[in-house]
Amino acid sequence: MLSVNVEKRLGTLNLSVRFEAAGGATALFGSSGAGKTSVVNMIAGLLTPDRGSIALDDTVLFDVGAGINVRPHQRRIGYVFQEGRLFPHLSVRQNLDYGRRMSGRTPDVSEFARIVALLDIGPLLDRRPRMLSGGERQRVAVGRALLMRPRLLLLDEPLASLGVGHKREILPYLIRLRDDAAVPMVYVSHTAAELRRIATTVVRLDAGRVVASGGIELLDETDSDAIG
Amino acid sequence: MLNLSSAEWTAIELSLRIAIVATACALPFGIAVGWLLARKNFWGRAVLDGIVHLPLVLPPVVTGYLLLVSFGRKGPIGAFLDQHFGLVFSFRWTGAALACGVMGFPLLVRPIRLALEAIDRRLEDAAATLGANHLWVFLTITLPLALPGMIAGAVLCFARALGEFGATITFVSNIPGETQTISAAIYTFIQVPGGDAAAARLVVIAIILALAALVASEWLARRAAIRFHGE
């Protein structure tokens, strides 16, 4: 269970967001500039709220009153960025292995193989990120985040930088991930059609506020831009 | 082809040793200063930037003089290092290395700083979310991505150190076998009657070394680019 209750002033936007997310895929839905990315950055610890608290299960990650602010590297929250952000100087295999190395765990061959198979990235392991297509890059980014054994997975518009074909290519993997990996997800998107396929709960943001939250029927109230 | 006398060989060996030691010792400081200038906003940042660049704009003889009064046996820093670490600079090859390192420092720092500024900070954020603390982010992401800049800076510093003359001769004089580098030896040979041939031989050597450094840097930079950017 993730509970978020944060306030932050960002330029002209007064962000004040409060929501809770259980298992499954929680969609943060809203137009550009609604503050979706800022919210996930705060959950990851990359952006510090002015006020409020963030807790994941029984761990307080951030609490202004108690003076708690767990550093990003200690949060164990996987983050799939819009642009992938694979490390260009490392091979795909080394990218995937990065989180495990940083945590000092011994290699787990079967876990590695399972996630490589889940995302179909076996043939890419010895390539450099720049030799990958956009869709392949995002699949590796998802694998990299999963292999750090996250308690929560954040996906910030993971399909936004992809063409229509690659969107079609990657969505089934994300759905498989939601159903098989048993890691709760927070999924940011401004595309209703995409969320309709992946989300189990929806939190709708507008101009830095939560305007609605509930099931995926919330997505029907808006004009959905098709993703093909 | 080139029949070098033992004195000439000594000058060549000494020049290389001084330039290598100067570059190797300056590199950690260069990375630290480059990182401070690229990443940190602090009081005195402009002053630090100015001091780093001073050896580039001051007459070398002034830099040499300043080294003499501060790092000489009776200078405050020189006396301290002598008493506590037994490290003596004045009239030693180590002093020549210090002078060369100081003179090459601005050339070392600049490419490192530019390389650090060019790094996509979002990659460092990504590493942090994967569990890397500040030190690991620096060692596994920042430093490798800045490697081409470090190579470029080190080569420039090495080349500058190889050719350094003014600050070195002011600080540690021109002692054959101890502080007489190729440049100083050429200068000496030109001063004495019949020294022209020896000077000419060393000039050829100086040109060869400079070209070799350039070729080596190109090769290293290309290797780093392949290794780290997959081109």
DSSP-derived secondary structure for chain B: -----HHHHHHHHHHHHHHHHHHHHHHHHHHHHHHHHHH---TTHHHHHHHHHHHHHS-HHHHHHHHHHHHSTTSHHHHHHHHHH----TTSHHHHHHHHHHHHHHHHHHHHHHHHHHS-HHHHHHHHHTT--HHHHIIIIIHHHTHHHHHHHHHHHHHHHHH--HHHHHHH---TTTT--HHHHHHHHHHSTT-HHHHHHHHHHHHHHHHHHHHHHHHHHHHHHHHHH--
Judged by a CB distance cut-off of 8 A, whether residue A81 touches chain B is: yes
Decide if B126 and A85 are in contact by the 8 Å CB cutoff.
yes
Inter-CA distances, A111 with A24, A142, A149, Å: 21, 14, 10
For residues B81-97, give the mean pLDDT: 91
Kindly tell me the burial class for residue B135, based on how many C-beta atoms sit within 10 Å of its own C-beta (0-12, 13-18, 19 or more). Answer: exposed
Q: Please tell me the class of the A2-87+152-221 domain.
A: alpha beta
- Chain B residues with CB-CB distance to A89 below 8 A: 144-145, 227-229
- Return all residues near A183 (Cβ < 8 A) that are at least 6 apart: A78, A146, A150, A151, A152, A153, A177
Task: Kindly list the domain boundaries of chain A, sorted by start residue.
Answer: 2-87+152-221
ipTM of the complex: 0.90
Q: Which residues of A touch B123 (CB under 8 A)?
A: 85, 87-88
Question: Considering only CB atoms, which chain B residues are within 8 Å of A56?
Answer: none
Contacts of A145 (CB under 8 A, 6+ apart): A78, A79, A80, A99, A153, B129, B130
What residues of chain A, 84 to 113, have a C-beta less than 8 Å from chain B?
Answer: 85, 87-89, 98-99, 102-103
AA identity, residue A45? G
**One pLDDT digit (tens) per residue for chain A, 228 residues:** 899 999 999 988 999 999 998 888 999 998 888 899 999 999 999 999 999 999 999 899 999 989 999 999 999 999 999 988 999 999 999 999 999 999 988 999 999 998 898 888 999 999 999 999 888 999 999 999 999 999 999 999 988 877 777 787 788 888 888 887 678 999 999 888 888 888 999 999 998 999 888 888 888 765 544 443
Q: Do A129 and B140 touch (CB under 8 A)?
A: no
Averaged over B194-218, what is the pLDDT? 90
From A224, A210, A152, select the one nearest A185 (Cα to Cα): A152
- The 10s digit of each residue's pLDDT in B104-136 is 999 999 999 999 999 999 999 999 999 999 999
**Structure pTM?**
0.86
User: Is B126 in contact with A129 (Cβ distance < 8 A)?
Assistant: no
**Residues of chain B with C-beta less than 8 angstroms from the C-beta of A70:** none
Would the CB atoms of B126 and A89 count as touching at under 8 Å? Answer: no
Closest chain B C-alpha to A153 CA, distance in angstroms? 11
Mutation target vs A (from B130, B223, B228, B229; most A CBs, 10 A cutoff): B130
Nearest by CB to B126, from A76, A81, A131: name it.
Answer: A81
Stretch 133-162 of chain A: residues touching chain B, C-beta under 8 Å: 144-145, 148
What does the pLDDT look like over B12-53, one tens digit per residue?
999 999 999 999 999 999 999 999 999 999 998 999 999 999
Kindly state which CATH superfamily the domain B6-229 is placed in. MetI-like (1.10.3720.10)
| Locus of tokens 């759905």 | A175
Mean pLDDT (whole number) for B173-196: 91
Q: What is the dihedral of CA B130, B136, B140, B141, to 10 degrees?
A: 70
* Candidates B121, B122, B124, B129, partner chain A, best to mutate (most A CBs within 10 A): B129
Q: B194 at the A interface (CB within 8 A)? A: no
Contact call for A76 and B131, based on CB within 8 A: yes
Q: Which of residues 112-171 of B touch A (CB under 8 A)?
A: 120, 122-123, 125-133, 136, 140-141, 144-145
Q: Does B230 touch chain A (CB under 8 A)?
A: yes
Query: Taking CB atoms and an 8 Å cutoff, what residues of chain A touch B226?
Result: none
